[in-house]
């Protein structure tokens, strides 16, 4: 499992892609023992009347890679640059403003990291991607900070930094739609991996109605009775039902169900090998496959599928859809396409390198016209999508210029007409979503969908869509601000939230899908294997819809038993599913009628 492998250091957001960068620094001979210039000037301030300050430092010769395995350490020769920043603003100024920090450097192959510390030396926030610039957003309140820039792989470069008080973007009013509601269920204790369900993925067989839920090496089938009662069954792939490599070991589990063909794939990552099988009967029998393209990559695998692009080679068998396998391989991230229903794959094609984006990425999604999207949380100072319009042969990175990098991987959902909805955790922790009608070239309606409920921090964005003007954005959120990865000091309570749009992303209505049952108390670490016990939820959740457009959100419940009723956090990871129980769905043909009941199909 992810927690047990040293390879999962690559899952540390402050070390993503860093193995390659560090190796490049060593090979380039950039390790002489040399001191560096301190920040010029060494301190500064910003106020509501003088909102900007700048400084610079360098050149830096010695890499500081201490953040790869935990807290950054600074020694001699000087491996960190500290700048004393004082912020002085009137009370209430933060209601319409934010403190923005940017660190830039000339050589795109170099890498600097940005950390902000409070007067006691505690980390307030960090921006430590593999790209430039490093950007951070903080509340615009009176405070004193140490702004620490760490030369992770400086390559002899210098940096310039800016701290500015900037106006917050104005969000449109929330949607006036009737808020949908959700019913929650969890796997019974008798199911293997019921309490080992970190980073779940989900699909729905729209012919049978069964929801297929992946929890570590277990594939679970969830069916619903007439009253909405959920029944959970273990349908894991194994030698007895046709898949000897299934349910054995995994660094990364993933599941995908093609909504058109109803085929479900489950895959386990084992080093640079993907152990993959598929089922056409909801887990009664499984068929083994070659698993992935060559090279499969070492981390963060994802599976997805959909139509081929018109006019291309298309399928070589009767199975009509393309299947894509993508993963990151330290220095780049690649995707391979299967033209025979996921049995075999062609060679993996790089989507981007570390000069373009950080190594890790979100889940692959395919539009109705065959366009393929893979989202990334940090590409040149923004969140972006890698896009292929030729069945994965070539890729282009397209950024949302309104965004700043976050710690959780973003997610995309694609409407029936090709509209793309990207939900993401901004660098200030906010739940933001934007819309594109031109395959990611431009983005519209970018807004914070958590502000109306006072949500300050989110993790694990997951997006799905139905009709072209309808989409849902699920995430874990808390109304507590600050550094949510501070294990000792963060006291937030987290719930599963779902935001829904019925007007093409112009407005959203956000609801608490677990109002009486917190998902976690305290910190949630998204820092890979360097985390402590608060990494119980691992890296992501997932969301999908059924044949009538009802939203189903898969999540790991980290606060169960006495924790859920007021007791201490118990760091569980219970396989759980929130299913829409009332309100308009993502398919207008099945909009709710009076009383919250759905029309019969």
Q: What is the pLDDT of residue 77?
A: 64
Would you say residue 31 has pLDDT above 90? no
The first and second tokens of residue 460, run together, are 């694990």
For residue 223, what are the contacts with CB-CB under 8 A and spacing of at least 6?
Answer: 209, 210, 211, 230, 231, 233
- C-alpha dihedral sign at 398, 403, 407, 409: negative
Between 36 and 316, residue with greater pLDDT:
316
pTM: 0.90
Would you say residue 6 has pLDDT above 90? no
Would you say residue 451 has pLDDT above 90? yes
Q: What is the pLDDT of residue 468?
A: 98
Cα-Cα-Cα-Cα dihedral of 309, 312, 313, 314, to 10°? Answer: 20
Question: Which stretch, 59-63, 132-136, 491-495, has highest mean pLDDT?
Answer: 491-495
Least confident of 14-18, 257-261, 530-534, 585-589: 14-18
- Report the pLDDT averaged over residues 429-437: 97
Centroid of chain to Cα 528: 13
pLDDT band at residue 19 using 50, 70 and 90 as cut-offs: very low
Q: What is the pLDDT of residue 251?
A: 82
Would you say residue 30 has pLDDT above 60? no
Measured CA to CA in angstroms, residue 100 lies from 133, 421, 527 at distances of 12, 25, 23
For residue 105, what are the contacts with CB-CB under 8 A and spacing of at least 6?
Answer: 58, 112, 132, 133, 154, 157, 158, 159, 160
The average confidence (pLDDT) of the chain is 90
- Count of beta carbons in the 10 Å neighbourhood of residue 432: 28
């Amino acid at each position: 499992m992810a927690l047990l492998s040293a390879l999962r250091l690559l899952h540390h957001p402050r070390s993503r892609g860093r193995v390659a960068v560090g190796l490049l620094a060593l090979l380039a001979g950039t390790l002489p023992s040399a001191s560096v210039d301190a920040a010029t000037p060494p301190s500064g301030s910003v106020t509501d009347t003088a909102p900007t300050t700048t400084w610079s430092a360098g050149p830096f010769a010695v890499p500081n890679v201490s953040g790869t395995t935990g807290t950054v350490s600074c020694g001699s020769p000087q491996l960190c640059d500290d700048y004393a920043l004082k912020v002085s603003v009137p009370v209430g100024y933060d209601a319409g403003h934010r403190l923005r920090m940017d660190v830039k450097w000339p050589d795109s192959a170099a890498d600097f990291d940005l950390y902000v510390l409070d007067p006691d030396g505690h980390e307030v926030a960090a921006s430590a991607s593999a790209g430039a610039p490093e950007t951070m957003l903080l509340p615009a309140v009176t405070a004193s900070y140490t702004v620490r820039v760490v030369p992770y792989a400086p390559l002899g470069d210098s940096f310039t930094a800016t701290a500015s008080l900037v106006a917050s973007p104005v969000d449109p009013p929330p949607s006036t739609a009737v808020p949908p509601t959700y019913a929650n269920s969890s796997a019974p204790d008798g199911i293997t991996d019921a309490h080992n369900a970190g980073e779940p993925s989900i699909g729905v067989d729209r012919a049978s109605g069964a929801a297929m839920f992946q929890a570590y090496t277990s594939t679970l089938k969830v069916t619903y009775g007439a009253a909405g009662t959920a029944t959970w069954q273990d349908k894991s792939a194994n030698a007895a039902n046709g898949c000897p490599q299934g349910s054995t070991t995994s660094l990364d589990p993933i599941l995908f169900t093609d909504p058109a063909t109803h085929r479900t794939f489950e895959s386990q990552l084992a080093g640079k090998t993907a152990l993959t099988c598929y089922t056409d009967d909801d887990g009664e029998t499984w068929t083994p496959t070659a698993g992935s393209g060559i090279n499969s990559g070492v981390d963060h695998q994802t599976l997805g599928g959909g139509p081929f692009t018109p006019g291309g080679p298309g399928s070589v068998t009767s199975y009509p859809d393309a299947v894509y396998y993508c993963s990151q391989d330290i220095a780049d991230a690649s995707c391979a396409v299967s033209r025979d229903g996921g049995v075999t794959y062609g060679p993996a094609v790089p989507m981007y390198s570390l000069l373009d984006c950080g190594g890790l990425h979100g889940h692959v999604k395919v539009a109705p016209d065959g366009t393929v999207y893979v989202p990334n949380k940090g590409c040149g100072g923004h969140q972006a999508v890698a896009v292929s319009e030729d069945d994965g042969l070539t890729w282009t990175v397209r950024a949302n210029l309104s965004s700043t990098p976050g710690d959780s991987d973003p997610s995309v959902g694609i409407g029936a007409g090709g509209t793309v909805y990207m939900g993401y955790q901004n660098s200030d922790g906010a739940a933001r979503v934007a819309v594109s009608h031109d395959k990611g070239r431009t983005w519209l309606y970018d807004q914070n969908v958590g502000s109306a409920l006072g949500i300050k921090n989110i993790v694990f964005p997951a997006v799905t869509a139905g009709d072209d003007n309808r989409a849902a954005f699920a995430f874990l959120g808390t109304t507590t601000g600050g550094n949510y990865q501070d294990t000792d000091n963060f006291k937030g309570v987290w719930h599963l939230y779902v935001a829904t749009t019925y007007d093409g992303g112009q407005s959203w209505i956000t609801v608490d899908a677990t109002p009486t049952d917190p998902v976690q108390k305290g910190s949630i670490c998204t820092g890979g294997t360097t985390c402590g016990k608060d990494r119980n939820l691992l890296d992501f959740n997932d969301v999908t819809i059924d044949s009538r457009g009802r939203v189903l959100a898969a999540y790991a419940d980290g606060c169960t038993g006495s924790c859920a009723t007021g007791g201490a956090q118990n760091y569980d990871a219970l396989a759980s599913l929130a299913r829409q129980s009332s309100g308009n769905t993502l398919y207008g043909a099945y909009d709710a009628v009076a009383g919250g009941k759905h029309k019969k199909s």
